[in-house]
Amino acid sequence: MARGRRVAGHACFTLLSAVPEHLRSKNAHARFRELERKFGKPDPMPQGIQSYSIGSPIKQEAGEKMSDEQWLCAVAKYRTDERLNHWDHPDKGGAWELAGMLRDFVHNQLERFVRLSLRFPPATHPAYIDRVLDGLKGTAASTVLKLDVCRKAFAESRVACGTAIADLLGGIDEPLPHDAVEMLHWLATAHPNPEREPSEEQAPGGQPNHHRDILTHGMSTTRGRAAEAIRNLILMDASYVARFRVTLDQLVGDRSLGVRSCVASTLLAVAQHDPPLALELF
């Protein structure tokens, strides 16, 4: 109701502002002056259709000068997928866009921003820790730091960050501790993604979606990516065959054809060390 009173007459004000002053009647001119005192300047002329590339709500140059505390404040401010004040600043994104810029900072100042991510409060939008995990892949960061970030992400956002956790763990060439193996086991066998097959989804027109091949679908799912992470570890170290034995038994019976298509390459890795077991699982 209060907002209704504040904007009452705005449409009339906008319309009258488009009429040249010498063409307004006496009553129209009096009404315009009355509304002018309420609203001030009329809206500018329409700009027509425009397109924007949505980026970080904070500019790169500003981010480079921010302290750790300022970064934590920014992460707390941009905490949803919704963009703040998007009418006035349509090119400024929200949490995911700021998190994308954070990933770049992880590459440039590895130790600082990885340790900063460990200070994110539990309720932080998962985009931030997800992008930090992604930024850590292939870097020279210590295994201890990588595992610390994985543990935090798994404890607080395992569903949202499952794929990024699996990708990072699958690229660690030092023997993983037991809890990291358990993380991958859960991601490969209990993560809810995928919930359904492409054939169960509707394509445009309401028809079943048969146009996406099962391997491509599997590689875009968390359970599929976890299976591929386990494959990478087994290729590096034969001892992982025994460590993931229970996981492999469950993976070959996954309800998703897409996930099982990823598991096929995991079995090829098993065959490098134990051909009879690989054939049995196949």
pLDDT at 2 over 90: no
The whole-number average pLDDT for the span 31-40 is 91
Classify residue 198 by its DSSP letter: G
What is the reported pTM?
Answer: 0.80
The whole-number average pLDDT for the span 16-41 is 91
User: How far from 253 is each of 189, 214, 249, 260, 268, CA to CA, in Å?
Assistant: 10, 15, 7, 8, 16
Query: For residue 3, what pLDDT is reported?
Result: 58
The answer to whether 56 and 103 have CB atoms below 8 angstroms apart is no
pLDDT digits (tens, 9 = 90+) for 209-262: 555 789 999 999 999 999 999 999 999 999 999 999 999 999 999 999 999 999
Domain ranges, ordered by start, for the chain? 11-38, 57-157, 174-194+214-282
pLDDT at 200 over 80: no
Q: With bands split at pLDDT 50, 70 and 90, how would you rate the model's confidence at 48?
A: confident
- In whole angstroms, how large is the CA radius of gyration of the chain? 27
The answer to whether 64 and 94 have CB atoms below 8 angstroms apart is no
pLDDT-wise least confident of 40-49, 58-67, 208-217, 271-280: 208-217
pLDDT-wise least confident of 128-132, 188-192, 201-205, 269-273: 201-205
The answer to whether 207 and 148 have CB atoms below 8 angstroms apart is no
Q: With bands split at pLDDT 50, 70 and 90, how would you rate the model's confidence at 34?
A: very high
pLDDT at 190 over 80: yes
pLDDT at 97 over 80: yes
Report angle CA 193, 272, 190 to the nearest 5 degrees. Answer: 20
Amino acid at the residue 218: G
pLDDT digits (tens, 9 = 90+) for 153-183: 999 999 999 999 999 999 999 999 999 999 9
Give the burial string for 43-74 (b: 16+ CB within 10 Å, else e). Answer: eeeeeeeeeeeeebbbeeeebeeeeeeebbeb
If DSSP codes are grouped into helix, strand and coil, which group holds residue 240?
A: helix
Query: For residue 236, what pLDDT is reported?
Result: 97
Residue 54 to residue 122: CA distance in whole angstroms: 27
Indicate the angle between helix axes 162-169 and 126-136, nearest 10 degrees: 20
High-pLDDT (> 70) share of the chain, %: 91
Query: For residue 52, what pLDDT is reported?
Result: 74
The answer to whether 266 and 234 have CB atoms below 8 angstroms apart is yes
Q: Which token pair is 113?
A: 């921003």
pLDDT at 84 over 80: no
pLDDT-wise least confident of 144-158, 189-203, 220-234: 189-203
Classify residue 55 by its DSSP letter: B
Q: With bands split at pLDDT 50, 70 and 90, how would you rate the model's confidence at 147?
A: very high
